[in-house]
Amino acid sequence: MTRIVRIYFRLLTAHLRAILEYESDFWVLAGATFLTQVVNLVFLSAIFARVPTLRGWSYWAVVTMFGLVALTEGVGSFFFEGTWRVAEAINKGTLDYMMVRPYPVVLQLTSSEIGINGLTNMLAGSIMIGVALAKADISWSAERVLLGLVLLISAIIIKLAINLATNSVSFWLNSPSAMFATAIHQVGELAKFPLTIYPAGLKVALGVIIPFAFITTFPVGLLLQTGPVFWLGLLTPVVAVYCLTVALAAFFNGLRRYESAGN
């Protein structure tokens, strides 16, 4: 396991060095990504300038959700951007090379690229979460800090698992692009706001079918004791294990039916 982790980070480091060869591109992309998060906050502030709360959720609670979405997406982009290259690897047959190397195929894929915008998203998301929690009315204790860390790690795992599972659908679609995964990713943007503001159909979709709500609404609700069913946040680690299991099963089942790209 130590060797696998060491190789994984060496691969990511190699991609990072290649990206940093073009410093101007790096700073432009980093600045644009950070500006996007600033615009999101301006938009959110405009909403709360009109309403004091959003179905019982305060401004800082929703900022925490925005921060969680940014942070989880940042981790996915910076450390696991290769997940979005599953369709391309299938279409071009580059999976053939990965399957004969003495290293897990799923890790070769996820480390095959690095999204430098993820670095800025992680920074912006961490700032938003830190400031929002500092402003929130929370009585901190060692147990609550530990709970927050467990919820954060679980939220990251859920996001990564959803990315892997939806991209693994490419084994069945045989499409050169990750259209399905991209569509689901766009749906995940709805998780920036509390689940309680949506109609019943969306609540089921975001809370059960594709559990984006366990990245934001339920963990934040549990930590801040906000929302009618905040206790569901206790299930976040369970949902994380479930999502990861489903994602790995989808990937390996797809890998077994892979027949190369042909000639």
DSSP-derived 3-state class of residue 263: coil
Query: The whole model's pTM is what?
Result: 0.92
> Which among 99, 79, 80 has a CA at the least distance from the CA of 89?
99
Residues 58-107: pLDDT tens digits?
Answer: 999 999 999 999 999 999 999 999 999 999 998 888 888 989 888 899 99
The answer to whether 237 and 214 have CB atoms below 8 angstroms apart is no
pLDDT tens, 104-160? 999 999 998 888 888 899 999 999 999 999 888 788 889 999 999 999 999 999 999
Instruction: Give Rg (Cα) of the chain.
Output: 19
Report whether pLDDT(225) > 90. no
- As a whole-number percent, the residues of the chain with pLDDT over 90 amount to 54
Cα separation of 238 and 225, whole Å?
Answer: 19
* Alpha carbons 253 and 250: distance in angstroms, whole number: 5
Residues 6 or more apart whose CB falls under 8 angstroms from that of 219 comprise 68, 151, 152, 154, 155, 233, 236
Residue 262: predicted pLDDT: 57
Gap between the Cα atoms of 166 and 178, Å rounded: 8
* 148-176 per-position pLDDT tens digit: 999 999 999 999 999 999 999 999 987 78
Tokens of 262: 């042909």
CA angle, 168 as apex, 150 and 105 as ends, to 5°?
A: 80
For residues 209 and 67, the answer to whether their CB atoms sit within 8 Å is: no
Q: Which of 8-12, 26-30, 84-88, 237-241 has the highest mean pLDDT?
A: 237-241
Structural domain boundaries in the chain? 2-256
DSSP helix/strand/coil, 57: strand
